[in-house]
Structure formats: structure tokens, C-alpha cells
Amino acid sequence: MDNTKKAPRNKAALFAAIWLVTYTICLFTIKKLSPGASTGIILSLLPVVTFALFIYTLIRGVASMDEVQIRIQMEAAVIAFSLALLMIMTLGLLDLVITLNKEDWGYRHVVPYFAIFYFIGLIISKRKYD
């Protein structure tokens, strides 16, 4: 593979790493230091900015892929989206019947599953085309 195809992927991986580090630092800072409201809001929104940059570079990276790679990415996204909706629907219905512990099933605990679902979709889709 030539460097023109690797560059967008490397850039997306870099921004993913920046987001992950930013998110982790902000999460631990908020949990451990209990900052005031204005500082807490800034710390909460900082990972949003880095994630938006990651999404932007990811979309640009997909645009530079060939048709098969785009199809693999789209199928992975569809699988991830479907599994995420299934999980959110299930948790929402269960929460009506039993009280789910927010320390185990809060928003910040559910988000990592979305990445897991994407990689599951990527594995399934790549097997089909490779």
C-alpha cells in the first residue's frame, strides 16, 4: 500500500489517540478532583472537540479509500449502529422494570461498547471481502 493511502488512516489513528488521552484525563480529573461547575463543563466539553476532530479525519480518510474498503467501513458502521440501538433499547426497557446501577450502566460506561460493536462489525465485514 502506498503512503497516500496510509496517511489518512495514520492521521485518524493519531486523532483517536488524542481523543482517548483527552477523554481519560478529563474523566479522571472530574471524578477525582470534583471541579466547580464552570471547570467541570470545560473538562466535559474538551473531549467533545477532540472527538469531533477524530470524526472529521475519519470521514476524510474513508473518502480516500477504494470502493471495497468503503463498503467494509459502511457495513461495520451499520452493524455497530444496529447493535448500539439494540443495547440502548434493551437497557431502556430493563430500566423500566428493574433499577439499573448507574455506576455500571451510565452513559460513560455504555460508550466503550460502541467501539467494540464497530470492531465486531469490521471483523465480520472484512471476512466477507478478504
Give tens-digit pLDDT for 71-86.
999 999 999 999 999 9
Domain stop point among 49, 65, 81: 65
- Shared domain for 101 and 121, answered yes or no, is yes
Residue 100: pLDDT over 70: yes
- Shared domain for 76 and 109, answered yes or no, is yes
- Shared domain for 73 and 106, answered yes or no, is yes
- Shared domain for 59 and 71, answered yes or no, is no
CA distance 78 to 73: 9
Question: Of all residues in the chain, what percent carry a pLDDT higher than 90?
Answer: 70
Question: Of all residues in the chain, what percent carry a pLDDT higher than 70?
Answer: 93
**Which residues constitute the domain of residue 112?**
66-130
- Shared domain for 91 and 46, answered yes or no, is no
Domain stop point among 30, 49, 65: 65
- Shared domain for 39 and 7, answered yes or no, is yes
- Shared domain for 115 and 78, answered yes or no, is yes
Q: Please give the tally of structural domains in the chain.
A: 2
Q: Give residue 10's pLDDT.
A: 82
Confidence class for position 3, pLDDT limits 50, 70, 90: low
Q: Cell match 470524526: residue?
A: 55
Nearest Cα residue to 55 out of 87, 108, 11, 114: 11
| Average pLDDT over the chain, rounded to an integer | 90
- Shared domain for 75 and 27, answered yes or no, is no
Residue 42: pLDDT over 80: yes
Q: Give residue 90's pLDDT.
A: 94
- Shared domain for 43 and 20, answered yes or no, is yes
pTM, to two decimals: 0.76
Q: Which region, left, alpha or beta, applies to residue 127 given φ > 0 means left and ψ of -120 to 50 means alpha?
A: alpha
110 contacts 91 by C-beta, under 8 angstroms = yes
In three-state secondary structure terms, 126 is: helix
Nearest Cα residue to 124 out of 87, 85, 66, 71: 71
- Shared domain for 57 and 4, answered yes or no, is yes
Comparing 39-48, 74-83, 106-115, which segment has the lowest mean pLDDT? 106-115
pLDDT tens track for 5-40: 566 668 888 999 999 999 999 999 999 999 999 999
